[in-house]
Amino acid sequence: MAAAIPVLDLSLSKTGSGKVQLVHMLDQACRNAGFFYVANHGISRQLTDQVYSQSRALFALKPSEKMALHLSHSTCRRGYEQIGDQTLDEHALPDQKESYYCGVDYPDSHPYVLKKYDTYGTSQWPEQLPQFRTVMNEYITAHLGLCNQLMGLIALALDQHEDYFAPTLIDPMITLRLLRYPPHPPDADARLFGAGAHTDWGAITTLAQDAQGGLEVQMPDGQWVAAPPIEGTFVVNLGDMMPRWTNDLYRSNPHRVINASRSGAPRYSIPFFFEPNYEASIDPMPGTVSADRPRRYGPCTAGEHLRHMVEKTYGGKLHAG
């Protein structure tokens, strides 16, 4: 079933003909699955393993130590979230996962921090783990580079110059999230998920997932297909800003997680949510509006879109990406 979600080799971009092929494959993936894998992305396995190691150490802290980092203590949605805090699918039971959010530490003097924009500020870092902050910042830097590259390729796929999105990606809204899913109960209610069906809200998400698997993607025909881990790759999916930016040429498909591992081990994953800066205009791109495809969205900023999704999905509660 994984064949429905293509694997894109980013090394193809090193030659002119290869880049043309890569851009075409990317365009098809964005119009259909809204999901794809990337291989030869340039981010070392060692770095990803270090993030997993720090993630396991974080979730192994005492409950009181984790709760001291709870999201409720943050002004910019950074920190710990316990099992059951979030319900991504309103028709399902609370999600069976715990998580931790962090991101770029913007200084107090930054204009977006002064304006109290969502996600701009300082993360709550666990003092018990002295290497944690360094490892997370290195991973954030690496995935910022990868996401900027992908946005350039998406621009080419939409017949725009490669740096079309670049002005909107200065001081982006980004969130690195660490996730731990406990083993799924064998006799669980059918409405119980690790993460209920949902779409992401931003531009693109990169995902590292461990060997347990459990990610499923809903295809345009309504079928759910597995997106199992593939060694050396990240899963990439489009968030809701991309359909808005492309007047629905590109898709943001629902996905969900059940940790159904027979080993009884917890599942760990590392999503990196990449969004343009808060004040970026998200207006249908040139060439996406026509007589056959009239404008489906009015203009808004990335921040307005994010705030709308928070209110629509949670009634103003904390956002999950």
Q: What is the pLDDT of residues 287-320, one digit of tens each?
A: 999 999 999 998 899 999 888 776 765 554 443 3
Q: Please state which CATH number belongs to domain 2-314.
A: 2.60.120.330
Percent of the chain having pLDDT more than 90?
Answer: 79
The answer to whether the CB of 247 falls within 8 A of the CB of 296 is: yes
The mean-pLDDT minimum among 73-87, 162-176, 301-315 falls in 301-315
Tell me the pairing of strands 7-9 and 35-39: parallel
Question: Which residues does 314 contact at the CB level (< 8 Å), separation at least 6?
Answer: none
Over residues 108-133, the pLDDT tens digits come to 999 999 999 988 999 999 999 999 99
Q: Indicate the DSSP class of residue 288.
A: S
Partner residues linked to 176 by β-bridges: 102, 272
Q: How confident is the model at residue 88 (pLDDT cuts 50, 70, 90)?
A: confident
State the Cα–Cα distance between residues 48 and 209, nearest whole angstrom.
Answer: 10
Coil, helix or strand at residue 44:
coil
Mean pLDDT of 158-174: 96
pLDDT of residue 2 exceeding 50: no
pLDDT of residue 184 exceeding 90: no
pLDDT of residue 192 exceeding 60: yes
Over residues 14-62, the pLDDT tens digits come to 999 999 999 999 999 999 989 999 999 999 999 999 999 999 999 999 9
Task: Outline where the chain has alpha helix (H).
Answer: 16-31, 45-59, 63-67, 111-114, 132-157, 241-245, 302-314
Task: Outline where 198-245 has alpha helix (H).
Answer: 241-245
pLDDT of residue 75 exceeding 80: yes
pLDDT of residue 177 exceeding 70: yes
In this prediction the pTM is 0.94
Instruction: State residue 319's pLDDT score.
Output: 37
Question: Which residues does 200 contact at the CB level (< 8 Å), separation at least 6?
Answer: 237, 238, 239, 240, 252, 273, 321
State the Cα–Cα distance between residues 126 and 2, nearest whole angstrom.
Answer: 37
* Closest by CA position to 102, among listed 68, 74, 79, 135: 79
Positive or negative: CA dihedral 75, 76, 78, 84: positive
